[in-house]
Every structure is written in structure tokens, then in C-alpha cells.
Structure 1
Amino acid sequence: MKPHLKIDIVSDVVCPWCYIGKRRLEKAVAQLKDDYTFELRYLPFQLSPDTPVEGENHKERLIAKFGSEERYEQLIRQVSDVAAGEGLDFHLEKQIMAPNTHALHRLIGYALQQGKQLEMVETLFKAYFEDALDLTQTDTVVQLAESIGLEGTKVREVLTTDAGTEHLDKQLYQNRLMGVSGVPYYIINDKYAVSGAQPTELFLEALPEIALKAPIQAPVVSGESCDIETGVC
């Protein structure tokens, strides 16, 4: 019987390092899947919970966050170059709207119940970072969910009512209690923490070691992430 690795991934839909980290982890899983079984689950985090429900201008928000248009453009180029190295085609300069991700996380939770969470997370990341779609628009998000086989009427209900809110808010609170202030944040076998979009090589080295270890608390390994405290992303 293969050793089992359960990986909970704390992330936000609008976090570029979460998408980059997703690709890096997937590459490691692909190389290790013959020797280990994997269970991946996404947990919610909101980098900007104060974003209006209707969303706000993406560029203006980031210029305010980073201090200048020059710094904004520099960081957009930097993260896009890193993403390209992982086979991702970012077009953040074309993204107009930054959504409040609360409803999107409720959708991701619903997708988990339907056995479609990984597909939903991938679809939302691609829509936001590569296709520059407006995720504040319910119709757009419903179409994305339908594209992976979710039922449109149910999805619309999740997005436009408070369905799943209590459970989501509890998860967000629990993640804050764990001390998560930046994403991506990986919790492996309920004990080991890896923070930031680590290189594939680190996962290839760390995951087999963790699979063989007794469940003791290990130190957090840190890497590139989006941080709610400093605003750095």
C-alpha cells in the first residue's frame, strides 16, 4: 500500500503566487504519484476582505497598495515572468476588476461537495490571471462553473444568497487562528506547514520525507507569497 499524503492548500483566488504554487505542486505530484497517493483540498483565505461586494478597479487598488504606477508595473512584470516559467500566461495588465472573493470561496466549497473542487480552482485562476475575466459578474462565474459540469442554477444560488456563508466564515476564522497571514500555505498530513510558492524541487524533496515521518510538529518553511499584513504580493 502506497504512503498517503494529504495536502490542504490555503489560498485566495486573486493571489498570483497561489496559482504559481499550484503549478509547482502539481509538477511534484505528477512525478511522485507512482509511489504515493495524494489527497488535495483547497481552504479559503481572503487577502482583501474589505473589497466591496461589487468589486473595485484592479489597477487602482494595486497602485494604492504598492505606492506608485511604476512599482505596480514592475511587480506585474516580475510575477508574470515567474508565471511564464511555470507555463502560465498571465495578463494582469488587462484585468479591470478585483473581486471580493467571499462568494467565489463559497463556490469553491460547493464544488468540493460535488467532487469538482480542483477543477473549479483551476478554472477561476485561469479566468482571472490569464483570460482577465471579470469575476464580479455572476453570469460569467456561472458559465465558468457550468464549463466544468456544475449545475448553473445551483451555482447561481450559491453566488447570490448566503448559502455556505456560516461554514466559510468558520474556515476563514480557523485559518487566522492557525496564524496564516500569507498564501499559499500548505498543511501536509495535518502536521507539517510549508508557506509560500515553493519550487517544485522542494516539494520533491520534502513530501517523501514527510510521508515517512511520525506525526510531529515541523517548522514552517517560507517562500514567495501574498501577505495580508504587509500588503506585499
Structure 2
Amino acid sequence: MDHVNIDVVSDVVCPWCYLGKARLDQAIANVAGDIFVTVNWRPYQLNPDLPPEGVDHKAHLAAKLGSQAAVDRAHEMLTGLGQQDGIAFNFDAVKISPNTLDAHRLIRWALTDGPATQSRVTALLFKANFEEGRNVGDHAVLLDIATEAGLDRAVIAALLASDADKDAVSEEIEMARGMGVTGVPCFIIDSQYAVMGAQSVEVLTDALRDIAKMKDTSQIN
């Protein structure tokens, strides 16, 4: 079976990243049996300058997009897209725009338990923020998510209370920017091919098949 590795650069408060994850999951399901796909989640921060406690979500977003009307239009479009991909966006429930540095630290630590656990934590963070309106910058919320994903709560609590991996996460984000990543999601396949944005399931499926085919051809040659 062919093996393809994907590094997904994303932020857990990016709705397009949530859509991208849902579509990638479906694309991986489409090639199951033919291609074994390993997914690693890499950090990015859309709002790195937000304070640790976060800010009022509605005011922050209206200022960022220019008006409440623009926010409403974006949310209406995203809600419709989410329904197609099995995501129940509930933007009215979101009260806080958090600083996501600690969420990314949690995602990093989850990888020590394997890619499946990391993907589980990432999915729970997306759902908590966009469907349940929970503050994913809050340590209590992060601890509950870690516990639900099967991580050791006491260990994660001690790590969150420290500065562990803050610099490493920030350096990884800067590395992504240095590679030309200016928006997310960004799917980096086999460290060679980049697919930008929340592409359709069909585009992602074709990308996986095409890259696996190219690998087969190069091995034959």
C-alpha cells in the first residue's frame, strides 16, 4: 500500500480549517485500502497578539471584517458549507476570540501519543469552539478535551501551567510563514506539494491519488 504523509498547517479558530479537516477526512476515507495516509497537525495563529484571556468575539470579528453585516454574510455562507460537510457551526454560541497558543501546545503534546490522538484532540478543539461555543484558550476547557482524548490530565495540567513548548510552537509558526504560508488551512503533502485552502473533497482525493501515483512511478524508474 502506498503511504502519503500530510502536514496540515491550521488554527483551531479558523472555520475554513474546520471545513478543511472534514473534507480531508472524507478524502482519506475515499482512498482507504489503496493509500495509507498519516496526518500531522501543525500550528498557525491567525490572531497571535490577542491576550491570554481572549477578547469579545463579536466585536473582534466585526472590527476584523469591517462590519457586523460582513460577519453575518460570512457566517451564513459558512453555516451552509458546514451542513454539507457534517459540521454544525453555531457562531452565536462563540463568545470569546481566544489566543490559541495553549491549544496548539496541547495539539503538539497529543502527537506523543500518536497521530490518531492528535487528530482526535484537534477535532475536539474545533468542535468545542465552533459548535459548543467553549473557550479553547481556557485551561479548564483544554484539560477536559485532553481527558476526553485519553491523555493524562495531571500531566497536561502541569504542562499548561508551565512555559513548556511555547517557544517551539512559535518557532514552528514562523517557519511556516517563512515557507510562504500566509493563510490556512495549508496541506503540505510529503514535504513537497502544497494545497492551499479548504479545497473540495474531490480535489483532495485527486491530490492524494496523483501524488501516490508519482511516488510509484519514481520508484519504478
| TM class by smaller structure | over 0.9
After superposition, the C-alpha distances for 1:190-227 in whole angstroms (9 at most, x for unaligned) are 10110000000111222111112259xxxxxxxxxxxx
**In the alignment, structure 1 residue 26 sits paired with structure 2 residue 40:** no
Partners of 2:207 and 2:139 in 1: how far apart?
A: 40
Letter in 2 for 1:99: P
One-letter code of the match for 2:86? G
Q: What does 1:16-95 align with in structure 2 at a 5 Å threshold?
A: 16-95=15-94
Q: What is the CA-CA distance between 1:63 and the residue it aligns to?
A: 0.4
How many Å apart are 1:135 and its aligned residue? 1.9
C-alpha separation between the residues in 1 aligned to 2:142 and 2:170?
21
Q: 2:138: which partner in 1?
A: 137
Matched, 1:163 2:129: no
Cα deviation 1:57-78 (Å, max 9, x = unaligned):
1111000011111111111111
Equivalences for residues 174-185 of structure 1 within 5 A = 174-185=175-186
Higher alpha-carbon deviation: 190-199 or 128-137: 128-137
Q: Is the 8 A contact 2:186 2:195 kept in 1?
A: yes
| 1:76–1:93 CA contact under 8 A, matched in 2 | no
Corresponding position of 1:172: 173
Normalising by structure 2, we get a TM-score of 0.93
Q: Which residue matches 1:112? A: 111
Q: Distance in 2 between matches of 1:97 and 1:106?
A: 19
Query: In 2, Cα distance between the equivalents of 1:169 and 1:48?
Result: 12
Structure 1, 132-141 or 54-63: larger mean CA deviation: 132-141
TM-score of the superposition, structure 1-length normalised? 0.89
In structure 2, runs of 5+ residues without a counterpart are 217-221
More helix by percentage: 2
The SS at the match of 1:136 is coil
Decide whether the 8 Å contact of 1:103 with 1:158 is kept in 2: no
* Other-structure match for 2:219: none
Amino acid at match of 1:188: I
SS at match of 2:17: helix
Number of paired residues?
214
2:39 corresponds to which letter in structure 1? Answer: L
Query: Letter of the aligned partner of 1:178 in structure 2?
Result: M
Task: Report the counterpart of residue 194 of structure 2 in structure 1.
Answer: 193
Q: Does residue 150 of structure 1 match 2:151?
A: yes
For residues 8-55 of structure 1, the C-alpha deviation after alignment (integer angstroms, 9 at most, x for no partner) is 100001000001011111111001011011111000000010111110
8 Å Cα contact 2:19/2:85 also seen in 1 = yes
Match of 1:227 in 2: none
- Report sequence identity in percent: 37
Residue 205 of structure 2 corresponds to residue 210 of structure 1: no
d(CA) in 1 for partners of 2:76, 2:124: 22
Q: CA RMSD in A?
A: 1.3
